[in-house]
Chain A
Amino acid sequence: MAEDGATSAISGRTLVIRPTSGFSWQDIVDIWRYRELLWILGLRDVKVRYKQASMGVLWAALQPLAQMVTFTVIFHRFAGLQGDGSVPYSIFCLAGVTVWGLFSNGLSLASESLLNSTNLVTKVYFPRVIMPLATIFTAAVDSAIAGFLLLIFMAAQRVPLHASAVLALPIAAIGALCAAAIGLWTSAINLQYRDVRHALPFFMQLLVYTSPVFYSSAMVPARYRSLLFLNPMVAVIDGFRGALFGTSIPFARLGLSLLIALVVGSLGFLRFRQLERTFADRI
Chain B
Amino acid sequence: MPAPIISVDGLGKRYYLQGPGNRTIREAILAAVKAPFSAFGRRARGEEFWALRDVNFTVQRGEAVGIIGRNGAGKSTLLKVLSRIMAPTTGEVRLGGKVASLLEVGTGFHTELSGRENIFLNGAIMGMTRAEVRARFDEIVAFAEVEKFLDTPVKRYSSGMYVRLAFAVAAHLQPEILVVDEVLAVGDASFQRKCLGKMQDVASGGRTVLFVSHNMAAISRLCTRGILLTHGTVAADGPVSQVAAVYAGGTNGEKPTEVDYRVRDKQPGTEHVRLLAARLLGDQVDSPTIDIRRPFSVQMEFEVLSDRYPLNPNVHLYNEEGACVFVNSDSYIPEFQKPRRPGIYRSTVTIPGNFMAEGMFSVDVAISTLDPVIVHLWERGIFTFRIHDPGEGDSVRGTYAGPIPGSVRPMLDWTTERLDEGQAVAARRS
A221 is an interface residue with CB less than 8 A from chain B? no
B112 touches A124 (CB 8 A): no
Most buried by B among A14, A16, A123, A282: A123
Of listed A16, A48, A124, A126, residue having the most chain B CB within 10 A: A124
Q: Known: A13-B96, A34-B124, A34-B127. Contact between A122 and B24, CB under 8 A?
A: no
Interface flag for A10 (CB, 8 Å): yes
B75 to chain A, nearest CB (A): 15
Interface residues of A in 22-61 (CB under 8 A from B): 33-34, 36-37, 40-41, 44, 47-48, 51-52
Instruction: Report B-chain residues with C-beta under 8 Å of the C-beta of A119.
Output: 104, 107-108
Residue total for B at the interface (Cβ-Cβ under 8 A):
50
Chain A contact-residue range equals 35 or more
Interface status of A15 (Cβ within 8 A of chain B): yes
Please state if B23 and A193 are interface contacts (CB–CB under 8 Å): yes
- Cβ–Cβ contact B108 & A124, under 8 A: yes
Q: Which residues of B contact A193 (CB under 8 A)?
A: 23-25, 28
Query: Which residues in chain B, 93-108, are within 8 Å of chain A measured between CB atoms?
Result: 93-97, 99, 101, 103-104, 107-108
In the bound complex, CA of A282 to CA of B95 (Å) = 25
Give every chain A residue within 8 A of B80 (Cβ-Cβ): 122, 280
Q: Which of B18-42 contact A (CB under 8 A)?
A: 19-26, 28
For residue B20, give the distance in angstroms from its CB to the closest CB of chain A.
6
Residue A79 is within 8 A (CB to CB) of chain B in the complex = no
B150 CB within 8 Å of chain A: no
Say whether chain A's binding surface is mostly helix, strand, loop, or mixed: helix
Residue contact B24 to A281, C-beta cutoff 8 Å: no
The residue that A126 contacts in the complex, of B22, B95, B127, with Cβ under 8 A, is: B127
Cβ of A281 and Cβ of B15 under 8 Å apart? yes
Closest chain-B Cβ to A50's Cβ sits at a distance in Å of 10
Q: How far is the CB of A127 from chain B (nearest CB, A)?
A: 10
B93:A281 contact, CB within 8 angstroms: no
A40 CB to closest chain B CB (Å) equals 4
B90 lies within 8 A of chain A by Cβ: yes
Are the C-beta atoms of A283 and B107 separated by less than 8 Å? Answer: no
- Which A residues touch B235, using CB under 8 A? none
Q: How far is the CA of A47 from the CA of B127 in the complex (A)?
A: 21
Q: Is the CB of B103 within 8 A of A282?
A: no
Chain A, residue nearest B109 (CB): A119
Beyond A120-B107, A124-B125, is A16–B96 a contact (Cβ under 8 Å)?
no
Is there an interface contact between A17 and B87, defined as CB atoms closer than 8 Å?
A: yes
| B3 engages A124 (CB within 8 Å) | no
Nearest-neighbour CB distance to chain B for A126, whole angstroms, equals: 6
Chain B residue, CB-CB nearest to A124: B107
- In whole angstroms, how far apart are the Cα atoms of A41 and B118 in the complex? 11
Chain B residues with CB below 8 A from A14, complex form = 94-96
Say whether B125 contacts A120, CB under 8 Å. Answer: yes
B-chain residues with CB within 8 Å of residue A36 when the two chains form the complex: 124, 129-130
The reply on B407 being an interface residue by CB < 8 A is no
Please measure, in the bound complex, the distance between the C-alpha atom of A47 and the C-alpha atom of B121, giving whole angstroms.
12
Contact A278 B23 (CB under 8 A): no
Contact between B110 and A283, CB atoms less than 8 A apart: no
Give the complex CA separation of A48 and B104 in angstroms. 22
B57 shortest CB reach to chain A, Å? 14
Asked if B377 is an interface residue, CB under 8 A from chain A, the answer is no
A223 beta carbon closer than 8 Å to chain B: no
In angstroms, Cα B29 to Cα A195, docked, is 12
**B96 & A10 in contact (Cβ 8 Å cutoff):** yes
Task: State in angstroms the CA–CA spacing of A10 and B6 once bound together.
Answer: 12
Q: With A6-B3, A19-B88, A34-B124 as known contacts, state yes or no: A44 contacts B20, CB within 8 Å.
A: no
Known: A15-B94, A36-B124. A124 touches B21 (CB 8 A): no
Do B107 and A1 have beta carbons less than 8 Å apart? no
A2 and chain B: residue at smallest CB distance: B3
Shortest distance between the CB of B227 and any CB in chain A (Å): 18
Determine whether the beta carbon of A37 is less than 8 Å from that of B124. Answer: yes
Chain B residues with CB under 8 Å of A123's CB are 85, 103-104, 107-108
Q: Does B87 lie within 8 Å of A19, measured CB to CB?
A: yes
Pick the contact of B101 from A6, A124, A282 — CB < 8 Å?
Answer: A124
How far does the alpha carbon of A231 sit from the alpha carbon of B117 in the complex, in Å?
Answer: 40
Taking a contact as CB atoms under 8 Å apart, the answer to whether B85 and A122 are in contact is yes
Contact partner, A6, options B2, B117, B126, Cβ 8 Å: B2
Q: Known contacts being A36-B130, A193-B23, is A125 close to B96, with CB within 8 Å?
A: no
Q: Bound state CA distance, A281 and B23, in angstroms?
A: 13
Give B68-88 interface residues, CB cut-off 8 Å to A: 80-88
| Residue of A33, A44, A195, A281 touching B113 (CB-CB under 8 A) | A44
Known: A14-B94, A124-B108, A193-B28. A40 touches B20 (CB 8 A): no
Complex A-B: 14 CB contacts under 8 Å: A6-B3, A17-B88, A17-B94, A17-B95, A20-B87, A34-B127, A41-B124, A48-B113, A122-B80, A123-B103, A124-B107, A191-B21, A277-B87, A278-B20
A-B complex: 7 closest residue pairs judged by Cβ atoms: A282-B21, A277-B87, A125-B84, A123-B107, A17-B93, A40-B124, A37-B124
Q: A19-B90, A278-B87, A282-B22 are in contact. List 6 more A-B contacts (CB 8 A).
A: A15-B94, A123-B85, A123-B107, A125-B83, A277-B86, A280-B80
